[in-house]
A = this chain, B = another copy of it.
Amino acid sequence: MSKPNLALVGATGAVGTVMISIINARENIWGEIRLIASARSAGKEIVVHGKPHTVVALSDEAFDGIDIAMFDVPDEVSEVWAPIAAAKGVVCVDNSAAFRMNPEVPLVVPEVNPFAAKSRPLGIIANPNCTTLTMMAALGALHSKWTLTELVVSSYQAVSGAGAPGIDQLAAEIAAVGGHSEAGLKSNNVSEILSAAGLKQSDSPWAVPIAMNVIPVAGGLKEGGHTSEELKVRNESRKILGIKDLKVAATCVRVPVQVSHSLAVHATFAKDITADEVRAELEKQPTVVVMDDPANGVFPTPAFVAGQDPTFVGRIRQAEDFPNTIDLFVVGDNLRKGAALNTYEIAELVAQELA
């Protein structure tokens, strides 16, 4: 076939914007590239590979002639529109939670389970949640060698995981507390400072301040007191790694960081494993960067990782009290590998297959 035609649904959102920068940075393997968004954004012009592209409104016809469509839209939009596009023969790569746990939809991380992308009875491939994705490249590599059995994970998640409103809220709060005298700041009454600056908590995506605070709830509340985000970490890790009985406990926490999710991971394996072996194995992975010399200030942080494609891993050490267990700290850009980049890499996989 000739070059496949690509559509991007949700071209003007936080992830969509990053997606366009990724499309522009990669080789242009596409015939047409079509930008789709809500009617509100239709008509907007965005430059892709040097040429202005006019955003078109989401509709049945918007998928005419398209081979592969990437969806970066809310769950309920994907739920309706991915099946419509798929019915027209479009391979849909969806970055919402709508289809991730559907047994007829593969959940794909190209480094870990590229083969899964080929079996897509509904014509839909799901992209994992950004928190899960942050650790998959590293854990997939370790699992294939040592067989992962247990995972205890605590997250340090950036506000951009809550989209543009999250980014705006942190920026507004930091501006408000930053405008304060140091003495005022030191009183630590973040709520009072924000309210004095005219910020209303009810305008925030969160119930409490995020500046100079951490919020131990990410996602909606679900059964057992877990959040949707915590259940995604468990269920999606199991599906991607193909370990049905993987034991997972996750605590997802929002931190006042703009971009990049960090995870403290406590991972137990079926086989003997050492920190040195882990370091050597991760250094072999093309999409993983090991930054692990903490005595000399070498460790990954979200501010450093933001804007970069690889997964960064540091603080690799043996949890001596636990057999076959490694503790490590993983950081990844939640808008790139955690969302847009992985979605695009899946689209590239499909393009190769269609070629």
Copies in the complex: 2
A156/B217 contact (C-beta < 8 A), A185-B258, A251-B264, A319-B249 known:
no
B264 and A253 within 8 A (CB) = yes
Decide: B213 and A315 in contact? CB cutoff 8 A.
Answer: no
Q: What residues of B have a CB within 8 angstroms of the CB of A175 in the complex?
A: 178, 180, 182, 185
Say whether, besides A209-B303, A216-B315, A171 and B186 are in contact (CB < 8 Å). Answer: yes
| Contact residues on A (Cβ < 8 Å of other chain), bracket | 35 or more
- Bitwise interface map of A from 153 to 175 toward B, beta carbon under 8 Å scored 1, else 0: 01010000000000110111011
Within 8 Å by CB of A224, from B208, B234, B320, lies: B320
In the complex, whether A98 has a CB less than 8 A from a CB of chain B is no
Q: Mark the stretch among A69-77, A131-139, A291-299 that contacts chain B.
A: A291-299
Of A3-11, A25-33, A83-91, A322-330, the one contacting chain B is A322-330
Contact of A302 with B by CB under 8 A = yes
Tell yes or no: A49 within 8 A of B by CB.
Answer: no
Q: How far is the CA of A148 from the CA of B174 in the complex (A)?
A: 40
Q: Which of A150, A174, A214 has the most CB of B within 10 A?
A: A214
Residues of B within 8 A of A186 (CB): 167, 171, 258
Q: Which residues of B contact A185 (CB under 8 A)?
A: 171, 174-175, 258
Q: Which of B174, B207, B234, B299 contacts A212 (CB 8 A)?
A: B174
Cβ-defined contact, A178 with B167, below 8 A: no
Residue of B nearest to A256 (CB): B256
Q: B182 touching A179 by the CB < 8 A rule?
A: no
Q: How far is the CA of A258 from the CA of B154 in the complex (A)?
A: 21
- Complex Cα gap A209–B260 (Å): 15
Q: Enumerate A232-290 residues with CB–CB distance to B below 8 Å.
A: 234, 246-249, 251, 253, 255-259, 262, 264, 266, 275
Residue of B nearest to A185 (CB): B171
Q: Which residues of B contact A208 (CB under 8 A)?
A: 297, 301, 303-304
> Please, which residues of chain B bring their CB within 8 A of the CB of A177?
174, 178
Give Cα A176–Cα B179 distance, bound, in whole angstroms. 9
CA distance in complex: A215, B264 (Å)? 11
Taking A185-B258, A248-B321, A306-B188 as contacts, is the C-beta distance between A253 and B156 under 8 angstroms? yes
Seed contacts A209-B303, A225-B275, A256-B256; 5 additional CB < 8 Å A-B pairs: A150-B321, A152-B266, A213-B301, A224-B320, A247-B322
List 9 A-B pairs, minimum CB-CB distance, nearest first. Answer: A178-B178, A154-B154, A225-B317, A207-B297, A247-B321, A249-B319, A213-B303, A251-B264, A221-B295
